[in-house]
């Protein structure tokens, strides 16, 4: 939700940490409103399905990607990164940083080449080509994921074919 105009998790926002004595609560503006402060994030999950962001076979482990894979798995899919993204709209095809962060694991762990290639193709079409590189998503993550690093690593594999 928006707390004093910024996307945040209500469950981890402490009132004494806010710089204002007045607190304004609003629903996320880039998601369809269900009622009150509740928004429909179903298209976020539909985008993840469209991108095939799940493993088709046993995971392939590469030692130097352990920490980034762990960070990628921590994504809450809360939508804060989508809320601040100037390129994201619920009516568009751009899937946003949440897709790039979650694609990282598949692009680095999937052993089935056809599935990895499909994820790479979907990544190019639904993330890379729509990202304006504003990095508004970088500092907004409520759990502090290294969004920029995960995007760079996903781009490296999906776009340039590097591990």
38 or 65: whose pLDDT is higher?
Answer: 38
Q: Provide the pLDDT for residue 55.
A: 60
Q: What is the DSSP annotation of the chain? A: -EETTEE--GGG--GGGSS-SS--EE--TTS-EEETTEE--HHHHHHHHHTT-S-SSPPPP-GGGHHHHHHHHT----SHHHHH-TT--TTSS---HHHHHHHHHHHHH---HHHHHHHHHHHHHHTGGG-----TTTTT-TT---HHHHHHHHHHHHTT---
CA dihedral 85, 89, 117, 69 (to 10 degrees): 40
Residue 63 pLDDT greater than 90, yes or no: no
Domain boundaries, the chain: 41-158
Report, as an integer, the average pLDDT of 45-59: 72
Q: Which CATH number is associated with domain 41-158?
A: 1.10.1060.10
More confident: 110 or 157:
157
How many of the other CB atoms lie within 10 Å of CB of 5?
8
The pLDDT tens digits of the residues spanning 65-110 come to 567 888 888 999 999 999 999 999 988 899 999 999 988 888 887 7
The segment with the largest mean pLDDT, out of 15-24, 108-117, 127-136, is: 127-136
Does 24 score more than 90 pLDDT? yes
């Amino acid at each position: 939700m928006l707390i004093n105009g910024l996307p945040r998790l209500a469950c981890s926002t402490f009132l004494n940490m806010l710089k204002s004595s007045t607190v304004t609560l609003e629903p996320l503006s880039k998601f369809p409103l269900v009622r009150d402060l509740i928004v429909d994030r179903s298209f976020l999950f539909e985008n993840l399905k469209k991108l095939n962001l799940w493993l088709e076979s046993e995971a392939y482990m590469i030692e130097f990607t352990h920490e980034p894979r762990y960070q990628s798995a921590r994504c809450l899919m809360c939508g804060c990164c989508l809320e601040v993204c100037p390129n994201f709209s619920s009516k568009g095809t751009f899937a946003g940083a949440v897709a790039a962060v979650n694609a990282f694991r598949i692009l680095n762990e999937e052993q089935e080449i056809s599935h990895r290639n499909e994820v790479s193709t979907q990544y190019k079409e639904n993330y890379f080509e729509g990202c304006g590189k504003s990095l508004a998503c970088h500092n907004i993550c409520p759990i502090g994921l290294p969004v920029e690093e995960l995007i760079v690593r996903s781009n490296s594999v999906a776009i340039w074919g590097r591990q």
